[in-house]
Every structure is written in structure tokens, then in C-alpha cells.
Amino acid sequence: MDEKVLEEIRFHQDVVTKDANSPLYQIREKEMEISGRVLAARNQAEKIVSDARKKAAEQLKKAETGAEQAAKKRVESVMKDADKTAATVVTQSEKDVIELAKTLEARRDAAVEYVVKLVTTV
């Protein structure tokens, strides 16, 4: 049993055997009343702290979930941008290859003539 409960039982047993109108009894009665109020206040404070901890845990969980969702959205956004950039680079590279092929085709005849002249003049 709790120490306070045992103390109250002993006090009430003493009261039954003694005078209830004595100043000592009245002081003791006030002590018990104040002790009860303190215990009630302590219980209320513990409940408030417990509720605050639960609320903080819930808010922390919400914040973590929100952060995860924001991170996923950011990753998706960056990946889309990277895909667009990659597509642009591929398209530009294909255009560059076509341009180089055209330039090669245009200069091939001149290159062949140059090589033939070098070989025949030696």
C-alpha cells in the first residue's frame, strides 16, 4: 500500500480513540486535507505532462512524415529536370552528329582528291 494511505488509516484510528475537537486533531486534519490537495495537484500535473508528451510525439511524427513527403517531391522534381536535361543533350547530340555527317560528306571529295594528289606526286 501507499505510504499516504497507511498514514491516513492510522490517523483515523487514532481519532476514533481520542478527542476530535483537540487542536492537535484539527491541525492533523488540515495536514491531511492539504496533503490530499497536493496529491491531486501532482496527479493533475503528471496528466498534463503525459498529454504534452503524447502531443509532442504526434507532432514529431507528423513533421517526419511531412519531411519525407517533401523530400520525395523534391527528388521527383529533380529527376524530372534531369530527365529533361538528358533528353535535351541527346537531341542536341543527334543534331550535332547529323551536322558532322553532312560536313564529312561535303568534304570527303576534297579529302580524296588531296590524298590522291599526295600519292601521285610522290
H helices of 2-121, in order, are 3-17, 23-120
Task: Give the integer Cα–Cα distance in Å for 107 and 90.
Answer: 25
Question: What per-residue confidence (pLDDT) applies to 17?
Answer: 57
Question: What per-residue confidence (pLDDT) applies to 72?
Answer: 95
| The pTM of the whole model exceeds 0.75 | no
Task: Give the integer Cα–Cα distance in Å for 39 and 66.
Answer: 40
Counted domains in the chain = 1
Which of 56, 70, 6 is closest to 35 using CA atoms? 6
Higher-confidence position of 89 and 19? 89
Which residue range(s) make up the domain with 84? 3-120
Q: Look at residue 10 and tell me whether its pLDDT is greater than 90.
A: no
Higher-confidence position of 6 and 92? 92
Going by pLDDT thresholds of 50, 70 and 90, the confidence category of residue 30 is confident
Average pLDDT over residues 75-98: 95
Q: Which residues contact 28 (CB under 8 A, 6 or more apart)?
A: 11
> Is the CB of residue 39 less than 8 Å from the CB of residue 4?
yes
